[in-house]
Structure 1
Amino acid sequence: MNPIADPRALLERLFRVAVRRAQPSETLAAHLPPAPKGRTLVLGAGKAAGAMAHALEAAWPEGAPMSGLVVTRYGHTPPRPKGLPERIEIMEASHPVPDEASRIAAVRTHAMTRGLCEDDLVVCLISGGGSALLTLPVAGLDLADKQRINRELLESGADIREMNCVRKHLSRLKGGQLAAACWPAQVVTLAISDVPGDDVSVIASGPTVEDATSCRDALGILARYSIAVPEAVHAALAEGKLETPKPGDKRFARNSVHLIATPHESLLAAAEEARRLGMETRILSDDIEGESREVGKVHAALARYALRDGNSRTSPLLLLSGGETTVTVRSQPAGSLRGRGGRAGEFCMGLAHALQGEPGVWALAADTDGIDGVEDNAGAFVMPDTIARGRGAGLTLADHLERNDAYGYFSALGDLFVTGPTHTNVNDFRALLIL
């Protein structure tokens, strides 16, 4: 069977290959430390935390004691493998905006660090989403404040580094503070990267990694995006009282970090599969940032160039990219419907709008965790007839772009890509097939 005969099915196949490469069950065991003389405590947070906990339980030596707690997003705990003993408790909480369960999980996590000694080992399982799932606000900031600040950051167009800089300085666990609380125990962090450049200090706001950002940086970001914090918290930031542990802090001398899955590795897996199926394949980058719709326009330009250059190719061309784009939510007139959607859908709208029905280009953009923003889809498909079918359904793509309403547009066309939770998270996956 010719895989190119069904471009949509082919793109989905490549997405699933990329996601499979990032599964903790495939990668975690190779990075485990030896069992310690003392006790082993497991702590963690993120959309992949449940799957990481299961993988750790399966790989840990029989008879070696282990206990702990991790927190993942609601609905993201995978089924427990048959016969696997439960040694790590899995809690669920809200993402991307924290809730009371996020706070309770953080309080319990912090309490578990008490009494650790040099003979103990703390294994921290960290993946994207941990910033919201593990929320322990600084003094003067309550949960409602954190929820508002989170929402405003998410809608501001701030990139992930800016958002997490603020989050670190408004938390008692982020920005290395969880690892500092574990001192003098050994801390081994096993992380799945969902951030451009695989900067471990940014993944889940770096709870086990020294933080080079400052209170001054956080204040600058808050001012840049006009986000208010309570007066007492603003004063504490201005005075440097909410500073995080910095590089060189002795409490990190026995710590190590291992990336068990990255966006680049997942894109390589998809590229290898595409080449095996006879396609010329190019990975553009695994750390593309910027406004989602604008990144879509750039990909459209690359696709058009590839089409013009098609005479020099003897096989279909696949363009792959990853990273973490942003969406600036536009203000809407009073009484108008607010749009729904996330980064992947916004990218697809920008791509389709720029392509204007260009023949020979099919695309899929999706978040590898299976959730685009806060919706139930992972992303969406773009095809040569996307705009024409939209017009036939009475839809105007420009209007949906103005309202950030990717979900409404692609849902009406039957072009949402729905996977359910994938139990991992290596961020955006984008694939353009050019025939």
Structure 2
Amino acid sequence: MNNAALRAEATRIFQAGVAAADPAGAVRRALNAQPVTGPVAVIALGKAAGAMMAEALLHVEASKALVVTNAENAQDIAGAEVMIGEHPVPSDGSVAAGAAILDFVAGLGPEDQVLALISGGGSALAIAPVEGVSAADKQAANAVLLGSGLDINQMNLVRQCLSRLKGGGLLAATKASVRALILSDVIGDDLRVVASGPTVGRVGTHAEARRVLMDAGAWDAMPQAVRDHLGRDEDVAEMRPAYNQIIGSNRVSLEAMVAACDGTVIVDDALEGDVAEAAQKVLSAMNAHSGDCTLIFGGETTVKLVGDGVGGRNQELALRVAQGAAESGDDWVFLSGGTDGRDGPTDAAGGIVDTQTCARIADAGLDVDAVLGNNDSFHGLQAAGDLLVIGGTGTNVADVQVFLRRS
């Protein structure tokens, strides 16, 4: 199989994973299995919010409807107000959206019901800072978190401690009964972490958030107002229950990728942690499987920013794998992509690399070590023609990877 055919096959398998996370299909299955009866206030939050809301409105009697999503995935939906926030760093629109969500549910009583449609990205798309912490403080804190090397669970622990919306804040703001349909972008599907858990309890306490930030060397970089707030210990109130349902996840997408091809092995469904260590896991798996093979991975790695380049965790993972396997001599392709079609602050979903990637980068006058040292994987892969660009997908269930070797 030639290189172009290998790339096409890897992309096809990746797209099978994305298709399995189709938000409209997931909502349809959930509401057909367990219909909502009577009037219901519907909120959709996250990158998949538009598609989830459009489908939900075909199945329920909505008394009112509010969508909060990013600009790329926004769409006009009859009967729903649509608000736009920013991701991964929240914007003024995110502040307005957070206030709108709390206002949306505040006047509802015990006889009312809320249907919440939650997907990845919600943490930044809607923010409602605690008293004493400004929106600018929250934005600065989020930027620090994104460059800290912390995993999504640790970042959302901190985010929840700074929010009136996250960590069950939506649930606490209303007396209505709440049912949530959740498209999980979190490995292990801890619902406290998806969109920072607006309908679920907190991940942890201020003391735990302080410890995480100090261990990561990120405490001093936080705004003073954030440090002051987290410096005050507090009791985490017990949350009243909501009915939370997972309707899609990374694991579901991995299984769809397996179904899309023969001879596939899911090597790791929790490829997490530092991107350099994750690359070594991929390289070890490549070496452990001789001959023709298809290897599938899923997870969400982290990148500790030390340079001022442009890139994302999938792009850096792909480039590190390309560097580590450049001398293998085999015909292979490795793809790492975000199922939302976006990797970091770029328009690429990730990277798709092969045995000649590093040579093409060198031919373009760049040094791979220098590119990686500056966290500039976007420009390195761009020079090689190896960016994976598919546009926004309207869904988000974390990242997936596929390795192909063919004789």
Q: Bin the TM-score by the shorter chain.
A: over 0.9
**Partner Cα separation in structure 1 for residue 374 and residue 225 of structure 2:** 36
Matches within 5 A, 1:376-387: 376-387=347-358
SS of 2:136's equivalent in the other structure is helix
Retained in 2: the 8 A contact 1:57–1:88?
Answer: no
Per the alignment, residue 287 of structure 2 pairs with 304
> Identity over aligned residues, as a percent?
37
Q: Compared with structure 1, are the counterparts of its residues 3 and 10 closer, same or farther at alpha carbon in structure 2 (3 Å cutoff)?
A: farther
Per the alignment, residue 14 of structure 1 pairs with 13
> TM-score normalised to the size of structure 1?
0.88
Per the alignment, residue 313 of structure 1 pairs with none
Query: CA shift at 1:22, angstroms?
Result: 0.4
**Partner Cα separation in structure 2 for residue 102 and residue 164 of structure 1:** 16
Retained in 1: the 8 A contact 2:90–2:139?
Answer: yes
Asked whether 1:66 is paired with 2:37, we answer: no
Q: What CA deviation, in whole Å up to 9, does each residue of 1:265-310 have, x standing for no partner?
A: 11111111112xxxx1101222221111321122112112213xx3
* Stretches of structure 2 lacking an aligned partner (at least 5 in a row): none
Q: What CA deviation, in whole Å up to 9, does each residue of 1:126-185 have, x standing for no partner?
A: 1111111111111111111111111111001011111000000000010011111122x1
SS of 1:260's equivalent in the other structure is strand
CA RMSD of aligned residues (A): 1.9
Per the alignment, residue 97 of structure 1 pairs with 89
Query: CA shift at 1:423, angstroms?
Result: 0.2
Q: 1:187 aligns with which of 178, 189, 197?
A: 178
Retained in 2: the 8 A contact 1:282–1:320?
Answer: yes
Per the alignment, residue 310 of structure 2 pairs with 340
Q: 1:388 aligns with which of 359, 362, 369?
A: 359
Query: CA shift at 1:93, angstroms?
Result: 1.3
Asked whether 1:239 is paired with 2:246, we answer: no
Per the alignment, residue 355 of structure 1 pairs with 325
SS of 1:11's equivalent in the other structure is helix
Give the AA of the match of 2:320: G
Retained in 1: the 8 A contact 2:335–2:352?
Answer: yes
**Partner Cα separation in structure 1 for residue 299 and residue 360 of structure 2:** 29
Retained in 2: the 8 A contact 1:194–1:262?
Answer: yes
Q: 1:199 aligns with which of 174, 184, 190?
A: 190
Retained in 2: the 8 A contact 1:48–1:423?
Answer: yes
**Partner Cα separation in structure 2 for residue 104 and residue 244 of structure 1:** 26
Retained in 1: the 8 A contact 2:210–2:219?
Answer: no
Per the alignment, residue 335 of structure 1 pairs with none
Query: CA shift at 1:59, angstroms?
Result: 3.0
Query: CA shift at 1:432, angstroms?
Result: 0.3
SS of 2:310's equivalent in the other structure is coil
Q: Compared with structure 1, are the counterparts of its residues 36 and 119 closer, same or farther at alpha carbon in structure 2 (3 Å cutoff)?
A: farther
* Stretches of structure 1 lacking an aligned partner (at least 5 in a row): 311-315, 332-337
SS of 1:68's equivalent in the other structure is strand
Query: CA shift at 1:231, angstroms?
Result: 4.9
Q: Bigger shift: 160-169 or 203-212?
A: 203-212
Per the alignment, residue 222 of structure 1 pairs with 213
Give the AA of the match of 1:297: Q
Retained in 2: the 8 A contact 1:262–1:426?
Answer: yes
SS of 1:371's equivalent in the other structure is coil
Give the AA of the match of 1:128: G
Query: CA shift at 1:56, angstroms?
Result: 0.9
Q: Bigger shift: 90-99 or 357-366?
A: 357-366
Query: CA shift at 1:35, angstroms?
Result: 3.4
Matches within 5 A, 1:314-329: 316-329=292-305
Per the alignment, residue 48 of structure 1 pairs with 48
Matches within 5 A, 1:390-405: 390-405=361-376
**Which consecutive segments of 4 or more residues in structure 1 shift more than 6 A?**
2-5
**Partner Cα separation in structure 2 for residue 227 and residue 49 of structure 1:** 33
Q: Compared with structure 1, are the counterparts of its residues 7 and 66 closer, same or farther at alpha carbon in structure 2 (3 Å cutoff)?
A: farther
Per the alignment, residue 148 of structure 2 pairs with 156
Retained in 1: the 8 A contact 2:137–2:225?
Answer: no
Asked whether 1:27 is paired with 2:18, we answer: no
Retained in 2: the 8 A contact 1:4–1:10?
Answer: no
